[in-house]
């Protein structure tokens, strides 16, 4: 899928093409309605939470975000969150024919067979169905059951999505050289060496296996509800991590562009140097400077990585080099689920009449998986 909303940071020059920020000047938009068919992660049946004002939050004007399915025929785009699609039974929009258009309300299709439910049919003219997903292929069940040509666009963390919404990104500071504001404490207050916050402990995962190897050579303080973790202190995750020199930004699976809040929020925003395990170094360098993180693949073993971290702990001048990028860039953390909805609206505004159908969603999404 060709990116319709260019926020891919394929090189440093591409950092000038970041999504608009609240203080940027917007282009004149056209009015667009975006319908969120299911509220993410089981929101159906609950009272709908207020949807954001895209102009106030992200400086994207001309957007009408909807959760009322009665507005289905008015929406230029409909967002389908994958997890809710497979947790079903999915209640899909009916085929858009004369009978449906004349009816006072939609008669939804509620089908128990996923393959039967996930079938394309007539829809309002020009309407785009958007597949939205922020999990890795390893944690995206039911993908192969979806029929071809069901969706027109993809919205995900993948840079080649039609609507690219990463978990975070860097944007240039207005005044390079200014002292960055945030949680980063003076080095003298970084009393801990390595921290790791993990919510799902699974001994089969590469990140847990690597932790066991690394922790044989240096202390790692683990926080979380599962495994050997202890509760995050009352001061909160960011303030806790800020007091460590390094943070293990280990992804639960290794896939193309799957770089989550573990890097952006838990590490970069908190002010610890990230030690990453995920896609390869070249993939990370599409999004962040090469001297802003440490990759486990840079070392032949966990023992040699531990030796390097202990070296940095003793040599603060070298350690500080991992913070030089902060003079030029600041960290943006994506707001779920407000920002994806507004980005979808922005993409519709800029795409014009151009549309397409995705023939094989699984083949595209699983490409680049390790």
Note whether 92 and 57 are same-domain residues: yes
**Per-residue pLDDT for 14 more than 60?**
no
Q: What is the pLDDT of residue 356?
A: 87
Query: Does residue 52 fall inside a structural domain?
Result: yes
**Least confident span in 19-33, 160-174, 199-213:** 19-33
Mean pLDDT value across residues 138-142? 94
Query: Does residue 312 fall inside a structural domain?
Result: yes
DSSP H or E run through 171: strand 168-172
Q: What is the pLDDT of residue 42?
A: 64
Note whether 201 and 314 are same-domain residues: yes
Note whether 272 and 129 are same-domain residues: no
Q: What is the CATH number of the domain that holds 318?
A: 3.40.50.11660
Note whether 213 and 310 are same-domain residues: yes
Per-residue pLDDT reduced to its tens digit, 259-281: 999 999 999 999 999 999 999 99
**Per-residue pLDDT for 110 more than 80?**
no
Query: Does residue 191 fall inside a structural domain?
Result: yes
Query: Does residue 2 fall inside a structural domain?
Result: no
Residue tagged 């909160």 (tokens): 236
d(CA 303, CA 307): 6
Q: What is the pLDDT of residue 6?
A: 43
Q: What is the pLDDT of residue 107?
A: 55
First vs last C-alpha separation in the chain: 20
Burial class, 109, CB count within 10 angstroms (exposed 0-12 / middle 13-18 / buried 19+): middle
Per-residue pLDDT reduced to its tens digit, 209-245: 999 999 999 999 999 987 788 999 988 999 999 999 9
Query: Does residue 7 fall inside a structural domain?
Result: no
The count of domains in the chain is 2
Query: Does residue 114 fall inside a structural domain?
Result: yes
Query: For the whole prediction, is pTM greater than 0.95?
Result: no
The beta strands (E) that lie in 210-272 are given as: 221-223, 244-250
Note whether 302 and 345 are same-domain residues: no
Note whether 257 and 135 are same-domain residues: no
Per-residue pLDDT reduced to its tens digit, 317-369: 999 999 999 999 999 999 998 999 999 999 999 998 777 889 999 999 998 66
Query: Does residue 6 fall inside a structural domain?
Result: no
Note whether 222 and 118 are same-domain residues: no
Query: Does residue 196 fall inside a structural domain?
Result: yes
Whole domain around residue 234: which residue ranges?
A: 171-333
Of residues 48 and 32, more confidently modeled: 32
Note whether 74 and 151 are same-domain residues: yes
Note whether 341 and 283 are same-domain residues: no
pLDDT band per the 50, 70, 90 thresholds, residue 181: low
Per-residue pLDDT reduced to its tens digit, 193-214: 999 999 889 999 999 999 999 9
**Per-residue pLDDT for 25 more than 70?**
no
Of residues 291 and 26, more confidently modeled: 291
d(CA 22, CA 6): 17
Note whether 196 and 90 are same-domain residues: no
Note whether 327 and 359 are same-domain residues: no
State the catalytic residue, choosing from 105, 135, 251, 339.
Answer: 135
Note whether 151 and 132 are same-domain residues: yes
135 is catalytic: yes
């Amino acid at each position: 899928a060709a990116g319709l909303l260019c926020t891919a940071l394929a090189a440093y020059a591409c950092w000038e093409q970041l999504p608009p920020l609240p203080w940027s000047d917007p282009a004149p938009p056209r009015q667009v309605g975006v319908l969120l068919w299911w509220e993410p992660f089981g929101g159906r049946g609950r009272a709908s939470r207020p949807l954001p004002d895209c102009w106030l939050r992200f400086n994207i004007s001309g957007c009408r975000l909807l959760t009322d399915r009665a507005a289905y025929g008015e929406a230029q785009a409909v967002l389908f969150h994958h997890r809710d699609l497979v947790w079903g039974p999915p209640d899909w929009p009916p085929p858009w024919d004369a009978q449906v258009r004349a009816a006072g309300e939609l008669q939804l299709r509620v089908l128990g067979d996923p393959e039967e439910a996930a079938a394309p049919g007539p829809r309002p003219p020009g309407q785009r169905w958007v597949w939205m997903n922020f999990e890795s292929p390893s944690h995206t069940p039911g993908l192969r059951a979806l029929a071809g040509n069901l969706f027109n666009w993809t919205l995900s963390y993948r840079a080649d999505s039609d609507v690219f919404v990463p978990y975070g990104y860097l944007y240039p500071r207005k005044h390079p050289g200014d002292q960055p504001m945030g949680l980063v404490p003076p080095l003298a207050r970084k009393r801990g060496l390595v921290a790791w916050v993990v919510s799902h402990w699974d001994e089969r995962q590469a990140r847990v296996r690597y932790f066991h190897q690394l922790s044989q050579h240096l202390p790692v303080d683990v926080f979380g509800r599962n495994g050997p973790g202890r509760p995050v202190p009352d001061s909160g995750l960011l303030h806790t991590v800020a007091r460590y020199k390094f943070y293990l930004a280990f992804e639960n699976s290794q896939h193309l562009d799957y770089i989550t809040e573990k890097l952006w929020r838990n590490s970069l925003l908190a002010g610890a140097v990230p030690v990453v395990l995920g896609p390869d170094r070249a993939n990370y360098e599409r999004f962040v400077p090469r001297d802003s993180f440490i990759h486990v693949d840079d070392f032949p073993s966990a023992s040699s990585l531990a030796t390097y971290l202990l070296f940095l702990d003793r040599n603060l001048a070298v350690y500080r080099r991992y913070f030089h990028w902060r003079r030029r860039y600041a960290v943006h953390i994506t707001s779920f689920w407000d920002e994806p909805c507004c980005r979808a609206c922005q993409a519709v505004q800029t795409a014009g009449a151009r549309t397409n159908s995705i023939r094989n969603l699984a083949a595209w999404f699983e490409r680049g998986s390790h």
